[in-house]
Amino acid sequence: MRRASAIQVLDDLHAAQNDFYSGGDENALRGLLVADITWTVPGASPIAGAYRGLEQVFAYFRRRRDLASGTFQMRWRDVLVGESSRVAALTDGTAIVNGTERCWSTVGLYDIAGNALIASCWLLPLDQRTFDEIWSG
């Protein structure tokens, strides 16, 4: 995948996620994901797990939105692409959880379907302990 194409996919994804996480409609975000998407979040927090299909993935998204009281936002810092449809994005997240502003970084490893939709994501927190603490409230 070309870097410019990967950046466009991530810009669209993060814009739709940020809108959804701040209380917006889910339709724009839903339109960027394949029906049988998988989303994997490591760790021991309430959001950790392997989510399969749009309903499970959106339940996870809603849980994050609710835990952050609509304040969760993401911004990618760097993107790594190669010959395949897999893209890695170093992403910073911020949210106010239980009245405290929190920040963290993850690498999102995405599989992009041929139609520029997200087919899967594996989150890789750079500091797993802090990530679990943030999302455990």
Q: What residue spans define the domains of the chain?
A: 3-136
pLDDT exceeds 80 at position 75: yes
Q: Which residues of 60-95 are buried (b: 16+ CB within 10 A; e: fewer)?
A: bbeebbebbeebbbbebeebebeeeebbbbebebeb
Average pLDDT over every residue of 91-110:
96
Render pLDDT for 39-48 as a digit per residue (tens, 0 to 9).
999 999 999 9
| CATH number given to 3-136 | 3.10.450.50
Render pLDDT for 16-43 as a digit per residue (tens, 0 to 9).
999 999 999 999 999 999 999 999 999 9
- Please state whether the predicted TM-score (pTM) of the whole model is above 0.85: yes
pLDDT exceeds 90 at position 137: no
